[in-house]
Structure 1
Amino acid sequence: MEILVPILTNAFASDLFAGGLALGVFGVIAAFLRTTLIALYHALDKRIWVSLTLDNRSPTYRYFCIWMEQNRVLARSRHVRMTDGRWASGTKGFGPAPGRHWFFSGGKLCRLERDIDEKSKIGAAQNQRPMEVLQVTVLFGKVETILGWIETGKEVAQTKDRVGPGLHILKGDWWDHVGDVPRRSIKTVLVDDDRIESVLTDMRWFYRANDWYAERGIPWRRGYLFHGPPGTGKSSLIRALASEVSLDIATLDIGRSGLTDDDLREAMMCAPAGSLIAIEDIDAVFAQREGGEKRTGVSFSGLLNAIDGVAAQEGRALIMTTNHKDKLDPALIRPGRADVHVELGLVGAATARRLFARFFPDEHDLALLFERHLGGQTFSPAQIQGWLLTNSSNPYDAAQASGLILPLQGVAAE
């Protein structure tokens, strides 16, 4: 200690040492203050700003973009990016450039940050687009405010810009809204009786029957099975029902390579709200269950659990179609999984006449001639439509039905 005392005394007497020490202390204090201020800033930032992050795998991304355009919140932005129109269907051919943008809405200061990752692609191989992320932040706002903007954009998408049911396809582990399909009237689905009107009435009842199911302690689910030969209108009926009941269509390909039981269950649990779920040609995937054979990544038991298991989604209709009902396992089409069975078969001459009249509305006499030529034979609606399309410019030739009428069998020429 006796040696250190004179050394320290001499050091403190040195202006260089004292200045260096002072600078060191000042640096420590400055670093402490900086860390403290940053921590206070982040704490304050979390309290005065609310934010919501969206990416273009979700339909909410499109709804928010439509809301921005409808309200012209970035009309004065000087930084935009030209697009191919797919960044948000229903908007113009350009959007905000990547980076930060400021705007006011409802008296609130808002910030939009758009990030585009060109290396991360989403969508099918033939329709890929880069991953995009929007972060919406509002000063002294509420998350409910941003959600309200998204809901407004959704209403616009479903009314003004809607041409028909929205089509959602499962892409990986998320549902992709790939666009709208044209609206179709229920009257365009041809049958010989009123079974189409009956299934429409049933589906309308189902989507209004939440309380009815709850009062009886029954899961709010409804399954439909459309069956019949190819070309009888099963897919057309799905689109017509969605159009009439104002629903979207969420279509599932359960035979897709790599799809597992867990994937299927989660996909059906998070199917887009306001959609009916369609699984077409289910016989092609599970034609028969023999010896527990597992023909795809989705097992038979996994499919059954996804339809009506403990975690199955409620408040949605499920439609399955098949060309061969007899090949389906009874467990798949029992009540509770397929409550309503609708057969779409071949149609007779009177129904074919109605389609002729739709093609040629001013040719009443030719429509009757067409019916007489068809006689007692039956046809699929697709056959009749194909014949009428082939002769769409010549109603007289169409009325002859020469390409539809089967030749008489067993009559030998004398």
Structure 2
Amino acid sequence: MASYFYLAQQVLSTLNLVPSNAVNATADAMANNATVVAPSFASVTDFSSLVTMLFSLGALRDWLKLIVFGGAIETLRRIAFSMYYKIIASFWITAHFDEDDSSYDWMMVWLSKQSSWSRAREVEISTRSFGLNSSAITVPGEEEDNIMSMRNSRKLAYLPSASTTYSMWYHRRYVTISRVQAQTGWYGQKEETLQISILTRSHRVLNELLLEAKKNYMAAEEHSISIYVSDINNSWRHVASRPKRALSSIILDPGMAELLVDDARDFLASKEWYAARGIPFRRGYLLYGAPGSGKTSIISSIAGELGLDVYIVSLSRAGMDDSALSELISNLPEKCIALMEDIDAAFTQNLNRDAGPTNAPATDDGKPPPPGAPPAPPTSRLSLSGLLNALDGVAAQEGRILYATTNKYTALDPALIRPGRMDLRVEFFLASKYQARKLFYSFYLPSDNSAAADDEKAEKDDVDSGYNSSTEAESTPSEPDTATSAAQRPAFSGTSHRQHAPKLRRKQVEKLAERFAEAIPERELSMAALQGYLMTYKTRPFHAVDAAKEWVESEREARLKKEQQEKGKAAAAVPASTDGAKEEVKSSDS
């Protein structure tokens, strides 16, 4: 600052300097009434004389004085305002929340519950749940409108509008809130930032606000699990929350579910044990076997049982390569479940490094395609070495649990399934008679609060649990009117939800489950197929048992027909490739 004023002083003193000969010449000319001839530009021979000539002009000196004074005043103004803003900012604490971060959802859910929005003059009306069906400050009168409640389960809520600053009070502290939207990225994607400023000099108030918002969010998510997926920027984005699925609802072979849950629970409690022995604190599970055998379902149930969020790693995502996968894995939180479904399907070739025909694209049954078959289109730029390094490389995250699923165990490279990457490998089989019996029993057993569950004499119908008739004959649809033609009746397959199943006693369900299990062959049908079959008889347990054998035969015929079609295609492809080879040999001989 002192140097600037010294420089200005020197400039002003220079401006006030006028050559003495010029002053004397001017005075003599005025005294003698002589005509003064202005100095000619042509007579200027050096730079010093040019400067002297310019400073001799009075108007130029005045303009230069204004410029110097104006610059000094503007500098002082900027310094004053900068100091003013710094002093004011020292009394405020400002926090920014990016839309891609989970804390943004916490704060938006917390803001939606504040009663002050019902009195705001400018608000944004939104049906966004931010991953939760939370109890936000809804529009008055919506709850009483039964038609709106039936047609749309999303509730209208008040939220702070974008590009507008709001004020509210929190623990007797003045708080301002604003949302800023900016268009960034190559695709014109909008990114939103929430800014909250608190009039306080202590971080204690901000910490209380953050903890309260997080606690409210976690309390609302207590009975659900969060699902995260990756975006094009290789960041994790929260997409949904799903209700926790009870472990008892997953029907597997005896002891399989308990094995997976107990092993994962023991791993999470063994961090110090791993650290003391220098072993990387991570665990990998490979679930393989027949499609529809419950691999993904048990993972969802384990996440709910252990209270872990699920991060879906899509290996076939557009733009997925080695560096993107490594970045995603390294950005995983410490305690979570990373899920890689159909790990073999992300590659155009089998996941092994053996030379020969095993590197050809695999078919649905895990075998290489016949000679002459067209190559599969590329689906990913991910390499096997990149996947291996992401799982247990230097940048691999510790504390996470990895679940990988595949229907083609033989297509995987031994390096991928070795201990350290896939520590526990569990095979899932097709449904057994035990699973069929348990599935039927859980499907048709009335809820525990039903009065007719154990008491054979009870005939109460006051509990509407979907079982409101005493016999199946009462629950079947009434016979159509003979006057109504068949063409006027709607044609559909399946069961209408307007029908209700009979109230069955526990012993009745057990007997029906035994009969159903006898009709199901051992290890021939998947659990998904059995569940789909029972869904068509959702309210007709007796019909489900009676038609089970016929359904099994139809499934066998369909599977046999499909196998014959595949064999026919393979047989047709082999002669074509042989003829092509013969033509090439003839052309080379000629």
TM-score, normalised to structure 1, is: 0.85
What does residue 381 of structure 1 align with? 527
Asked if structure 2 preserves the Cα contact closer than 8 Å seen for 1:384 and 1:404, the reply is no
Equivalent position to 2:344, from 283, 301, 308: 283
Shift of the alpha carbon at 1:392? 1.2
What does residue 257 of structure 1 align with? 318
Summarize the Cα distance change of 1:214–1:45 in structure 2 as closer, same or farther, 3 Å threshold.
farther
What does residue 358 of structure 1 align with? 442
Distance (whole Å) between structure 2 residues aligned to residue 192 and residue 224 of structure 1: 18
Is the deviation greater in 377-386 or in 167-176?
A: 377-386
Distance (whole Å) between structure 1 residues aligned to residue 343 and residue 511 of structure 2: 42
Asked if structure 2 preserves the Cα contact closer than 8 Å seen for 1:67 and 1:149, the reply is no
Q: Deviations over 1:82-121 (max 9, x none)?
A: 124256754452310122222332343332221134x559
What does residue 125 of structure 2 align with? 82
Shift of the alpha carbon at 1:352? 0.8
Asked if structure 2 preserves the Cα contact closer than 8 Å seen for 1:51 and 1:143, the reply is no
Specify the SS of the correspondent of 2:243.
coil
Summarize the Cα distance change of 1:375–1:32 in structure 2 as closer, same or farther, 3 Å threshold.
closer
Long gaps (5+) in structure 2: 1-18, 28-58, 137-155, 360-377, 446-503, 558-590
What does residue 139 of structure 1 align with? 199
Q: How does 1:85-100 map to 2 (within 5 A)?
A: 85=128, 89=132, 90=134, 91=136, 93-98=157-162, 99-100=164-165
Paired residues, what number? 398
- Between the aligned residues of both structures, percent identity stands at 30
- Tell me the amino acid that sits aligned with residue 191 of structure 2: M
What does residue 412 of structure 1 align with? none
Shift of the alpha carbon at 1:230? 0.3
- Tell me the amino acid that sits aligned with residue 299 of structure 1: S
Summarize the Cα distance change of 1:88–1:144 in structure 2 as closer, same or farther, 3 Å threshold.
farther
Computed over aligned residues only, the root mean square deviation of the Cα atoms, in angstroms, reads 3.3
What does residue 241 of structure 1 align with? 302
Asked if 1:390 corresponds to 2:474, the answer is no
Distance (whole Å) between structure 2 residues aligned to residue 366 and residue 339 of structure 1: 41
Equivalent position to 1:329, from 409, 413, 417: 413
Shift of the alpha carbon at 1:338? 0.7
Q: Deviations over 1:149-208 (max 9, x none)?
A: 334333322322455211101111211111112321112222222011011011111122
Summarize the Cα distance change of 1:95–1:359 in structure 2 as closer, same or farther, 3 Å threshold.
same
Distance (whole Å) between structure 2 residues aligned to residue 131 and residue 403 of structure 1: 57
Shift of the alpha carbon at 1:350? 2.1
Distance (whole Å) between structure 1 residues aligned to residue 417 and residue 76 of structure 2: 70
- Tell me the amino acid that sits aligned with residue 536 of structure 2: T
Q: Deviations over 1:358-394 (max 9, x none)?
A: 1111322211211222364543111111111111121
Asked if structure 2 preserves the Cα contact closer than 8 Å seen for 1:233 and 1:344, the reply is yes
Summarize the Cα distance change of 1:4–1:153 in structure 2 as closer, same or farther, 3 Å threshold.
farther
Q: Deviations over 1:198-248 (max 9, x none)?
A: 110111111222212112221110111111110001110111010111111
Asked if structure 1 preserves the Cα contact closer than 8 Å seen for 2:99 and 2:192, the reply is yes
Summarize the Cα distance change of 1:32–1:369 in structure 2 as closer, same or farther, 3 Å threshold.
same
Summarize the Cα distance change of 1:88–1:375 in structure 2 as closer, same or farther, 3 Å threshold.
closer
Specify the SS of the correspondent of 1:135.
strand
Asked if 1:349 corresponds to 2:433, the answer is yes
Distance (whole Å) between structure 1 residues aligned to residue 101 and residue 252 of structure 2: 38
Specify the SS of the correspondent of 1:405.
helix
Summarize the Cα distance change of 1:295–1:68 in structure 2 as closer, same or farther, 3 Å threshold.
closer
RCO comparison, higher one (Cα < 8 Å, 6+): 1
Long gaps (5+) in structure 1: 10-15, 410-414
What does residue 12 of structure 1 align with? none
Q: How does 1:166-177 map to 2 (within 5 A)?
A: 166-172=226-232, 173-177=234-238
- Tell me the amino acid that sits aligned with residue 197 of structure 1: E
Distance (whole Å) between structure 1 residues aligned to residue 178 and residue 250 of structure 2: 47
Shift of the alpha carbon at 1:41? 2.9
TM-score, normalised to structure 2, is: 0.61
Q: Deviations over 1:28-65 (max 9, x none)?
A: 44313211112213443554433222222222110111
Summarize the Cα distance change of 1:332–1:130 in structure 2 as closer, same or farther, 3 Å threshold.
same
- Tell me the amino acid that sits aligned with residue 514 of structure 2: L
What does residue 571 of structure 2 align with? none
Equivalent position to 1:2, from 2, 9, 20: 20
Distance (whole Å) between structure 2 residues aligned to residue 375 and residue 302 of structure 1: 43
Asked if 1:211 corresponds to 2:211, the answer is no
Specify the SS of the correspondent of 1:40.
helix
Q: How does 1:6-405 map to 2 (within 5 A)?
A: 27-45=70-88, 47-72=90-115, 74=117, 76-85=119-128, 89=132, 90=134, 91=136, 93-98=157-162, 99-117=164-182, 119=183, 130-141=190-201, 145-146=205-206, 148-172=208-232, 173-272=234-333, 274-286=335-347, 287-290=350-353, 296-361=380-445, 362=504, 363-374=509-520, 376=522, 378-400=524-546, 401-405=548-552
Is the deviation greater in 208-217 or in 221-230?
A: 208-217
